[in-house]
């Protein structure tokens, strides 16, 4: 089911690649599709990027029934354009949809639609080192209705945004703050879905962290406030006594594709790798005994985000020697080399456009 193409000759000027930020510029076209109970997902079309007119009573505006994804298209040195594990994004989109009572879509068709959009917009994939084209697939509930139930109709859209290098100022460790008064998600809730509600729930604590001079919030579990879950909108890893540890997926943690890739690489390198419960007390004790070697976050935007300092209550600890640790450094370079086609894709993670 190839999308219909509605073209325009009013194209935007391409941005200066040395000045790209994140999420402010959008390309000329977007992909759209509608859901109706009688027709299923239908009317796949690529049309000029533009506003989505909505009745003020549209359900997503009131009850937040929406899901999204985030991935990137990378340009290789030879000019080719490639995606990193996009099948995993569409699989996760369906999983998120399931949890939000949104009808699932055909994953292969969704990937084909995205590739059709990228072929039209290929000149928007920037070339400068570390830059990429960020891809945001989204589904929103569109019934004009104020009752609380799941919507009958939905709109799917994919927008594209050229983005700058995440580490424009250098690959440096960040400072994180462990919140004890706020939770992002609870078991049985929406934590494992990529849905706007989780972001709304994270803003208040993130604001406090920023005011205290910290970049990200480290979230503890929503029941006991004891076990580590995630950092900001990233998954988290610890290196303790040469063991690579990340919290096991428990229903309130987002199953990151970067997380999964870090685990696969770590295991393939023969490192001791564990997905298990890890408490903040264990991390503090590991630091006290000199066994805490590294902490880093993982996610599509940053790939790997090393942590240099952590504040928990009155205690402030510095991690490692203040520079990027060897595991974080190796992971970052290995993953970005695969993404940009500088290293062979031995794990079958790359999808060419």
What count of other Cβ atoms lies within 10 Å of the Cβ of residue 12? 11
Q: What are phi and psi of 110, to 5 degrees?
A: -65, -40
210 backbone dihedrals φ, ψ, rounded to 5°: -60, -40
Establish if 311 lies at the interface with ligand PLP (CB under 6 A): no
Query: Least distance to ligand PLP from the beta carbon of 96, Å?
Result: 10
| Range list of β-strands (E), the chain | 4-5, 29-36, 40-48, 66-68, 71-75, 81-84, 132-141, 154-163, 174-178, 216-220, 228-231, 235-240, 243-247, 272-276, 292-299, 303-312, 315-318, 350-352
Could you say which residues in the range 13-72 bind ligand PLP, by CB under 6 A?
A: 70
Q: CB of residue 83 vs ligand PLP: minimum separation in angstroms? A: 13
Closest CA to 308 of 179, 214, 206: 214
Q: Does 254 bind ligand PLP (CB under 6 A)?
A: yes
Please count the other Cβ atoms lying within 10 Å of the Cβ belonging to residue 266. Answer: 20
Residues 317-336 that bind ligand PLP (CB under 6 A): none
List 194, 221, 294, 295, residue binding ligand PLP (CB under 6 A): 194
Bin 82: left if φ > 0, else alpha if -120 < ψ < 50, else beta: beta
- Contact segment (CB under 6 A) with ligand PLP among 129-137, 227-235, 276-284, 317-325 equals 227-235
Size of the site for ligand PLP (CB under 6 A): 15
CB of 223 to ligand PLP, least distance (A): 18
Binding window for ligand PLP (CB under 6 A); candidates: 73-81, 98-106, 249-257, 329-337 = 249-257
How far is the C-alpha of 257 from the C-alpha of 239, rounded, in Å? 19
Residue position matching structure tokens 């999420």: 23
- Does 308 bind ligand PLP (CB under 6 A)? Our answer is no
Q: Does 258 bind ligand PLP (CB under 6 A)?
A: yes
Asked if 256 touches ligand PLP (CB under 6 A), the answer is yes
Closest distance of CB 169 from ligand PLP, Å: 21
Between residues 126 and 299, which has the closer beta carbon with respect to ligand PLP? 299
Rounded distance between C-alpha atoms, residue 99 and residue 40, angstroms = 18
User: Among residues 234 and 324, whose Cβ is nearest to ligand PLP?
Assistant: 234
Residue 161 and residue 136 in contact, taking contact as beta carbons nearer than 8 Å: yes
CA–CA distance from 208 to each of 217, 233, 318 (Å)?
A: 9, 16, 20
C-alpha to C-alpha distance for 60 and 95, rounded to whole angstroms: 19
Contact flag: residue 300 with ligand PLP (CB under 6 A): yes
Rounded CA-CA distance 198/119 in Å is: 32
The one among 73, 183, 234, 239 contacting ligand PLP by CB under 6 A: 234
- Whose Cβ is closer to ligand PLP: residue 113's or residue 256's? 256
Least CB distance from residue 13 to ligand PLP, whole Å? 30
Widest distance between CA atoms in the chain:
65
Q: Binding residue for ligand PLP (CB under 6 A) from 46, 209, 236, 257?
A: 257
One residue of 175, 259, 287, 311 binding ligand PLP per CB under 6 A? 259
Nearer to ligand PLP, 133 or 257 (CB): 257
- Residues near ligand PLP (CB under 6 A) are 70, 194, 198, 230, 233-235, 254, 256-259, 298-300
């Amino acid at each position: 089911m190839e999308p219909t193409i509605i073209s325009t000759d009013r194209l935007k000027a391409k941005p200066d690649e040395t000045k790209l930020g994140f999420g402010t510029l959008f390309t000329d076209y977007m992909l759209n599709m509608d859901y109706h109970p009688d027709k299923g997902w239908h009317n796949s079309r690529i049309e000029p990027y533009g506003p989505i007119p909505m009745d003020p009573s549209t359900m997503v505006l009131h009850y937040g029934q929406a899901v999204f994804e985030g991935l990137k298209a990378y340009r290789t040195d030879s000019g080719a354009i490639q995606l990193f594990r996009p099948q995993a994004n569409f699989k996760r989109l369906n999983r998120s949809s399931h949890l939000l009572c949104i009808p699932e879509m055909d994953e292969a068709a969704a990937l084909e639609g995205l590739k059709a959009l990228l072929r039209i917009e290929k000149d928007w994939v920037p070339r400068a080192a570390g830059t990429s084209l960020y891809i945001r697939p989204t589904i929103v509930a569109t019934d004009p209705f104020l009752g609380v139930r799941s919507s009958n109709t939905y709109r799917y859209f994919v927008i594209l945004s050229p983005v700058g290098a995440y580490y424009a100022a250098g690959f440096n460790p960040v400072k994180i703050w462990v919140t004890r008064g706020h939770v992002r998600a609870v078991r049985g809730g929406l934590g494992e879905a990529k849905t706007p509600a989780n972001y709304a729930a994270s803003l208040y604590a993130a604001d406090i962290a920023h005011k205290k001079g910290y970049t990200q919030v480290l979230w503890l579990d929503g029941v006991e406030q004891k076990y580590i879950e995630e950092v900001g909108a990233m998954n988290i890893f610890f290196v303790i006594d040469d063991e690579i540890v990340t919290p096991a997926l428990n229903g309130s943690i987002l199953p990151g594709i970067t997380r999964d890739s870090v685990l696969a690489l770590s295991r393939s390198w023969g490192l001791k790798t564990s997905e298990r419960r890890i408490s903040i007390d264990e991390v503090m004790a590991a630091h006290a005994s000199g066994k805490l070697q590294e902490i880093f976050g993982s996610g599509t935007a940053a790939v790997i985000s090393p942590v240099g300092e952590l504040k928990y209550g009155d205690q402030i600890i510095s991690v490692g020697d203040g520079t990027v640790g060897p595991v974080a450094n190796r992971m970052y370079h290995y993953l970005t080399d695969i993404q940009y086609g500088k290293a062979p894709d031995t794990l079958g993670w790359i999808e060419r456009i």
